[in-house]
Amino acid sequence: MAGSEPSENQKFCLQEVLDTFKLCLSDSKEVYLEHYVAGWRGLIKFLNCLGSVFGFISKDAVNKIQILVNYLNGENGPHYVTMQSMVKYELENDLVDLTKRGSHSESGCRTLLRLHRALRWLELFLERLRTSTEDSKTSNMCCEAYNESLAQHHPWVIRKAAGMAFCVLPGRAAFFEVMNVGTPEQVVAMLGEALPLISEVYQITEELYKEHNMLDLP
């Protein structure tokens, strides 16, 4: 179960994240929540390696992951096996605040939407990393990816705090080392393998939310 994944403070390994994203899709292209959440847990490990400045980001992500894990392990767990079944179940049972925050402010659907938007940031950032050169700045790549995605959903104060955190990101070489893959060439190759997987999971989720008019859940 997702709840028994290795803890967030263990050493990060990109291969592991890649493996969990590979497990995310069923034959019929449904997204397994258990593996999606495990993928995020792996990524949070990375964030935790970067230091306490990123604590406020990792805290929010961990909190959201925990909400989903609680549903998954709860009495209605079988409805939360895939994103598709979760959406169906929560909508059919009026468990989602659709226009303004009310009694379902922690629905699975709205919680997952926050992670989904962050996955777009990840996709854009990793693509920049993959095509970067030795003198590229991780802080610039991260900031550009953020402005093109998540920033549009964040209030000024969060954007400001995120911008400050980006400034202390390690340089490209140190960043690649934390990824724990091998030489920069090997990192780039693995990013090339990971990106299509992440991108497919993102697209499927995006379509699902669009189909149900849920891309702006409060």
Closest to ligand 1PX by CB, 26 vs 152, is 152
Q: Does 181 bind ligand 1PX (CB under 6 A)?
A: no
Is residue 147 exposed (0-12), middle (13-18) or buried (19+ Cβ within 10 Å)? Answer: middle
183 φ, ψ (degrees, to nearest 5) = -70, 160
Report in angstroms how near the CB of residue 78 gets to ligand 1PX at its nearest.
26
Q: Which of 10, 29, 30, 47 contacts ligand 1PX by CB under 6 A? A: 47
Establish if 98 lies at the interface with ligand 1PX (CB under 6 A): no
Characterize 87-117 residue by residue with b for buried, 16 or more Cβ atoms within 10 angstroms of its Cβ, and e for exposed: bebbeeeebbbbeeeeebeebbbbbbbbbbb
Q: Which residue lies nearer to ligand 1PX by CB, 29 or 202?
A: 202
Chosen residue from 143, 179, 201, 214 binding ligand 1PX by CB under 6 A: 179
Q: Which amino acid is at 87?
A: V
What residues numbered 158-177 form the site for ligand 1PX, per CB under 6 A?
Answer: 158, 162, 169
Question: Is 43 a residue that touches ligand 1PX (CB under 6 A)?
Answer: yes
Report the candidate in 139, 143, 133, 145 with the shortest Cα–Cα distance to residue 195.
145
Question: If binding is defined by CB under 6 A, does position 150 make contact with ligand 1PX?
Answer: yes
Residues linked to residue 31 through DSSP beta bridges, in sequence order: 25
CA distance 162 to 107: 25
Residues contributing to the site for ligand 1PX (CB under 6 A): 14, 43, 46-47, 56-57, 60-61, 114, 117-118, 121, 142, 146, 150, 158, 162, 169, 179
